Amino acid sequence: MHIVEIDKVQWAGGLTIEIYFKDGTHRIIDFEPWLKANPHPQHNKFANPVEFRNFTYTPTSLYWGEDADLEFCLNAYYTGDLDADE
Protein backbone atom coordinates (compact mmCIF):
# COMPACT_ATOMS: atom_id res chain seq x y z
CA MET A 1 0.00 0.00 0.00
CA HIS A 2 1.28 3.44 -0.96
CA ILE A 3 1.48 5.77 2.03
CA VAL A 4 0.99 9.39 1.12
CA GLU A 5 2.55 12.15 3.19
CA ILE A 6 2.34 15.92 2.94
CA ASP A 7 5.66 17.68 2.45
CA LYS A 8 4.57 21.32 2.32
CA VAL A 9 1.38 23.41 2.19
CA GLN A 10 1.15 27.03 1.06
CA TRP A 11 -1.71 29.47 0.99
CA ALA A 12 -2.23 30.49 -2.66
CA GLY A 13 -4.64 33.38 -2.06
CA GLY A 14 -8.35 33.51 -1.42
CA LEU A 15 -9.59 30.07 -0.42
CA THR A 16 -6.95 28.19 -2.38
CA ILE A 17 -3.97 26.21 -1.15
CA GLU A 18 -1.07 24.41 -2.79
CA ILE A 19 -0.16 21.02 -1.37
CA TYR A 20 3.13 19.28 -2.10
CA PHE A 21 3.40 15.59 -1.30
CA LYS A 22 6.59 13.71 -0.54
CA ASP A 23 6.13 11.53 -3.66
CA GLY A 24 6.36 14.65 -5.86
CA THR A 25 2.62 15.07 -6.43
CA HIS A 26 1.44 18.70 -6.33
CA ARG A 27 -2.15 19.89 -6.02
CA ILE A 28 -3.77 23.30 -6.13
CA ILE A 29 -7.17 23.13 -4.45
CA ASP A 30 -9.81 25.86 -4.37
CA PHE A 31 -11.99 25.28 -1.30
CA GLU A 32 -14.49 28.06 -2.11
CA PRO A 33 -16.96 25.90 -4.08
CA TRP A 34 -17.00 23.25 -1.34
CA LEU A 35 -17.41 25.78 1.48
CA LYS A 36 -20.27 27.54 -0.34
CA ALA A 37 -22.04 24.24 -1.09
CA ASN A 38 -21.60 22.90 2.47
CA PRO A 39 -22.33 25.69 4.97
CA HIS A 40 -21.98 24.69 8.61
CA PRO A 41 -21.55 26.76 11.79
CA GLN A 42 -18.41 24.81 12.67
CA HIS A 43 -16.50 25.82 9.56
CA ASN A 44 -18.29 28.85 8.05
CA LYS A 45 -15.60 31.21 9.39
CA PHE A 46 -13.03 29.55 7.13
CA ALA A 47 -14.85 30.95 4.08
CA ASN A 48 -13.08 34.20 5.05
CA PRO A 49 -9.57 34.25 3.49
CA VAL A 50 -8.11 35.80 6.66
CA GLU A 51 -9.29 32.79 8.69
CA PHE A 52 -8.67 30.29 5.89
CA ARG A 53 -4.97 31.05 5.64
CA ASN A 54 -4.46 29.96 9.26
CA PHE A 55 -4.18 26.20 8.79
CA THR A 56 -2.02 23.55 10.40
CA TYR A 57 -0.42 20.60 8.67
CA THR A 58 1.60 17.52 9.53
CA PRO A 59 2.80 14.77 7.17
CA THR A 60 -0.58 13.04 7.50
CA SER A 61 -3.12 15.83 8.07
CA LEU A 62 -4.17 19.34 7.11
CA TYR A 63 -6.82 21.14 9.13
CA TRP A 64 -8.24 24.46 10.21
CA GLY A 65 -9.10 25.49 13.77
CA GLU A 66 -7.61 24.36 17.08
CA ASP A 67 -9.98 21.40 17.23
CA ALA A 68 -9.74 20.53 13.52
CA ASP A 69 -13.04 22.30 12.83
CA LEU A 70 -12.46 21.75 9.12
CA GLU A 71 -10.53 18.71 7.91
CA PHE A 72 -10.71 16.29 5.00
CA CYS A 73 -9.25 12.82 4.59
CA LEU A 74 -5.71 12.74 3.23
CA ASN A 75 -6.94 11.09 0.01
CA ALA A 76 -9.17 14.10 -0.67
CA TYR A 77 -6.14 16.37 -0.68
CA TYR A 78 -4.10 13.92 -2.74
CA THR A 79 -6.73 13.51 -5.44
CA GLY A 80 -7.99 17.10 -5.24
CA ASP A 81 -11.54 15.78 -4.71
CA LEU A 82 -12.82 17.25 -1.44
CA ASP A 83 -15.75 14.82 -1.45
CA ALA A 84 -13.47 11.76 -1.61
CA ASP A 85 -13.63 9.17 1.13
CA GLU A 86 -10.55 7.44 2.50
pLDDT digits (tens, 9 = 90+) for 15-56: 999 999 999 999 999 999 999 999 999 999 999 999 999 999
Average pLDDT over residues 67-75: 94
pTM, to two decimals: 0.91
Buried-exposed string 1-26: b where 16+ CB fall within 10 A, e elsewhere: eeebebeebeeeeebebebebeeeee
Q: Phi and psi (nearest 5°) for 53?
A: -75, -5
CA angle 26, 44, 33 (to 5 degrees): 45
Higher pLDDT, 66 or 11: 11
Beta 6-11 vs 61-64: how paired, if at all? unpaired
CA distance 4 to 25: 10
* 84 vs 47, residue with greater confidence: 47
Q: Enumerate the domain spans of the chain.
A: 6-79
Q: Is the pLDDT of residue 86 over 70?
A: no
